[in-house]
């Protein structure tokens, strides 16, 4: 039985995947209870899956989930979260920009009454364009969806298993996980985390993908948020 499930999607990250898991292992070994690591290979065309299986051969906690074809980061993440067995789920990117040492801080912030802790890249190591696009998107999204998030796109998050039921299988899921959780009535906290520049490999997201897809989905979620109803509670039978 696992207390924590770590879900990491990978796509063409042969240069990063072993280092990401190498850094993660001592962090999880220091936790007071066992954790599983679900690594989802999203149809990589390089040696990513082979590298992941090499790590899994020496680390029994690692479970490799190979997808047939490339479906996108959100689909890989969603698949991994649905397979997670633990009551607490932690998600992070496979590009090496998240810092595994921040995971215990997220878990410590997941106190009773808090259902999700979302990371904030306080000192973000990305291009000027990406950082300013993110600031603009966070401001607009906050006004439309009312989630109050400073950095919704930060991949590093920890949340309770039941929060997964609030997520929709959409291609820009990463950017709207806190908004979906808030809309479903869950309480979301925020915590500043570290962020590194990408040292190896290439980003899979260009300017136009980052611009029009989230904008379109944001409008759809705004409509959905206006139309959804909170799940009613069933009254107890009189004694």
Q: Which two tokens stand for residue 23?
A: 């850094």
pLDDT at residue 207, rounded to an integer: 47
Strand partners, 159: 89, 116
- d(Cα 214, Cα 44) in Å, to the nearest integer? 24
Q: Of how many residues is the chain composed?
A: 239
**Residue ranges covered by each domain of the chain:** 4-227
* Closest by CA position to 171, among listed 117, 222, 216: 216
Query: CB-based contacts of 123: which residues, under 8 Å, 6+ apart?
Result: 194, 195
Torsions phi, psi for 119 (to 5 deg): -70, 150
Q: Which segments in the chain show pLDDT lower than 50?
A: 206-207
Specify the pLDDT at position 232: 75
Annotate 171-204 with b (16+ C-beta within 10 A) or e (fewer): bbbbbbbbbbbbbbebebbbbebbbeeeeebeee
Full-model pTM: 0.83
Alpha-carbon distance 202 to 181, whole Å? 30
Class of domain 4-227: alpha beta
Residue 16's SS3 state is: coil
Instruction: Find the radius of gyration of the CA atoms of the chain.
Output: 18
- In terms of DSSP bridges, do strands 157-160 and 88-91 run parallel, antiparallel, or are they unpaired? antiparallel
Nearest to 36 by CA among 6, 80, 78: 6
């Amino acid at each position: 039985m696992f207390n924590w499930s770590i879900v990491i999607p990978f796509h063409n990250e042969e240069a990063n995947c072993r280092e990401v898991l190498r850094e993660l292992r001592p962090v999880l070994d220091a936790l007071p209870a066992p954790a599983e690591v679900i690594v989802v290979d999203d149809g990589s065309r390089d040696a990513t899956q082979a590298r992941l299986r090499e790590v899994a051969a020496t680390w029994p906690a690692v479970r490799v989930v190979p997808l047939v074809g490339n479906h996108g980061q959100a689909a890989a993440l969603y698949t991994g979260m649905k397979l997670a067995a633990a009551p607490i789920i932690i998600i992070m990117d496979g590009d090496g920009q998240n810092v595994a040492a921040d995971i215990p801080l997220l878990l410590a912030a997941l106190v009773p009454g808090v259902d999700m802790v979302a990371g904030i890249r306080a000192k973000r190591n990305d291009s000027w364009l990406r950082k300013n696009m993110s600031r603009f998107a966070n401001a607009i999204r906050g006004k439309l969806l009312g989630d109050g998030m400073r950095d919704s796109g930060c991949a590093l998050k920890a949340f309770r298993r039941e929060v997964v039921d609030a997520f929709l299988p959409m291609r820009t899921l990463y950017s709207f996980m806190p908004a979906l959780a808030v809309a479903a009535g869950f309480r979301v906290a925020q915590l500043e985390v570290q962020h590194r520049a990408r040292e190896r490999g290439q980003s899979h997201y260009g300017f136009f993908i980052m611009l029009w897809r989230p904008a379109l989905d944001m409008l759809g979620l705004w409509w959905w948020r206006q139309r959804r109803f909170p799940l009613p509670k069933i009254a107890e039978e009189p004694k």
